[in-house]
Amino acid sequence: MHRSAGVSHELVDWLDSHTNFEAGMPRRASLPTLDRITALCDLMGDPQRSAPVIHVTGTNGKGSTVRILTELLSARGLTVGAFTSPDLASVNERIARDNEAISDDDLIEVLGALAELEPLLDTRPTRFELLTAAAFRWFSDVAVDVAVIEVGLGGRWDATNVVDPDVCVITNVSEDHLDVLGPTLMDVAAEKAGIIKSGSYVVLGETDPALARVFTDAADRVGAACVWKRSNAGHSEEFACESNDVAVGGRIVDLRTPGARYEQVFLGLHGRHQGDNAAAALAAAEAFFADALDERVVRSALGSVRVPGRLEIVGRSPLVVLDGAHNVAGAKALAASISGDFSVEGRVVAVVGLLEGRDVQAMFEALRSGGVERAVVCPAPSPRAVPVPELLAAGRRAGLSAQGAPSVGAACDEAIRQASENGLVIVTGSLYVVGEARTDMLERADRRASEARRDGAMRRGARSQGVVTLGIGPSELDGRLPRR
């Protein structure tokens, strides 16, 4: 939601005045309950019950799985609401219908309605609770056929857990937010298992037997209808990505689900791990429809899917790739993608900004294993940013050549300079860092395109007047993104 787009300053200030656990993570003792969001939804007439729901949790891959699911459901002709977090550039991105973000006018309307209801609550809701309620209200207003809801944190006490899902998806469990959800991975799994409800189908992407047992036991306790697990064992009730190869612009995958097998399907996303996300999303869609999907639907949906900020290419010469890996498991997946999906002759340089609560040195070690030679570190645009000196020390201990920069933009400039034309720049560590870099890079690309159009028009005008010109526009001198 952009103030420059005419959005009410008062409503923006009102939303931002509420406790924001994304800016400052809660301690376990201060974790929110479901009381406020339940009361708020009750005042609105429980809009979260107005459409079937697919609820998605997990440590990594939630956003990608939601995007793939949205494409699959839309390709079957449904109108799909999606609620995700965090946003990259605008809070509107979190609430979307068929991958189109809610308009400023609609967001103003639903936030205004929530502002009027807030005095009726016993306690003040958090910012995330308000955004969750806004999504439910808007999905009800525009009458979506199905809502795909991404958990913000954990599951059991997340504000989204007021839904009664038809399908629950758990992508995986790894070390992240252990100070809040832990201290052990079994504790994390138990928190995420809290989204499983009676009668729901459970699509389980976690393959560690002990962790997977947490979810299957939870499903048994509440009477979940069915549990489908990711595996390569070939069991009929399971799903898998059985073949996963690099292709131009993405991957070529073979996917197996309980209902069908889909071979040599183009997936328009980079990274081997996206094959597993696609398999989970496809299994979830089949569970929702209680039937296999037409192969043409699957090919259309997976070929067209895009996930901003996840192995997204935003520049050439050098290749500039954005990836919101924010924990060690994500950094390892990114490292595998650097060596597997992006082959360059030149230097690999990473722009890194992290939030507190991460294993900073392990993040840098993972990046180094993928071929990163240098790191330009910067403060993430968040109150929870890890200080630059701490990032520098950790990067150097991991064996990287590291230097600091005062901002994301300055770090990108320096990384592009160091990588040179035939190198690779990876921007990572936090979606907040990726979001700022993405906005900056796209604005640069727009300026470059405008300059090229202007220069082309000038040359065409000169030729029409019989003037010979050898002028070359600045954006044509090389393929690099212009530096500030």
| Residues 293-319: tens digit of each pLDDT | 999 999 999 999 999 999 999 999 999
75 within some domain: yes
463 within some domain: no
CA Rg value for the chain: 23
Q: What is the pLDDT of residue 279?
A: 97
- Are residues 410 and 269 part of one domain? no
Last residue of a domain, one of 261, 284, 304: 304
- Are residues 337 and 249 part of one domain? no
- Are residues 397 and 366 part of one domain? yes
Q: Strand 261-267 relative to strand 250-256: parallel, antiparallel, unpaired? A: antiparallel
Residue of 102, 113, 130, 161 whose CA lies nearest to 17: 130
- Are residues 316 and 288 part of one domain? no
Higher pLDDT, 183 or 391: 391
Last residue of a domain, one of 271, 304, 337: 304
- Are residues 148 and 82 part of one domain? yes
450 within some domain: no
Last residue of a domain, one of 304, 332, 367: 304
- Are residues 202 and 123 part of one domain? yes
At 464, give phi and psi (nearest 5°): -65, -20
Q: What is the pLDDT of residue 6?
A: 43
Residue of 320, 380, 330, 327 whose CA lies nearest to 350: 320
Q: What is the pLDDT of residue 463?
A: 64
480 within some domain: no
For residue 484 the two structure tokens come to 């500030």
Percent of the chain surpassing pLDDT 70: 88
- Are residues 282 and 214 part of one domain? yes
Which residue carries 């200030």 as its tokens? Answer: 13
452 within some domain: no
* Per-chain mean pLDDT for the chain: 89
Q: What is the pLDDT of residue 13?
A: 86
Kindly report the CATH number assigned to the domain that includes residue 363: 3.90.190.20
Q: Strand 424-428 relative to strand 167-170: parallel, antiparallel, unpaired? A: unpaired
- Are residues 72 and 165 part of one domain? yes
Q: What is the pLDDT of residues 199-254, one digit of tens each?
A: 999 999 999 999 999 999 999 999 998 999 997 666 667 999 999 999 999 999 99
Q: What is the pLDDT of residues 416-440, one digit of tens each?
A: 999 989 999 999 999 999 999 999 9
- Are residues 404 and 277 part of one domain? no
Tell me 307's DSSP state. -
Q: What is the pLDDT of residues 141-159, one digit of tens each?
A: 999 999 999 999 999 999 9
9 within some domain: yes
Please give the residue range of the domain that contains residue 165. Answer: 3-304
Kindly report the CATH number assigned to the domain that includes residue 202: 3.40.1190.10
Higher pLDDT, 339 or 349: 349
271 within some domain: yes
- Are residues 348 and 279 part of one domain? no
395 within some domain: yes
Mean pLDDT of 107-127: 95
How many distinct structural domains can be found in the chain?
A: 2
Within 10 angstroms of residue 311's Cβ, the number of other Cβ atoms is 25
Quick one: pLDDT band at residue 483, thresholds 50, 70, 90? very low
- Are residues 321 and 268 part of one domain? no
- Are residues 250 and 381 part of one domain? no
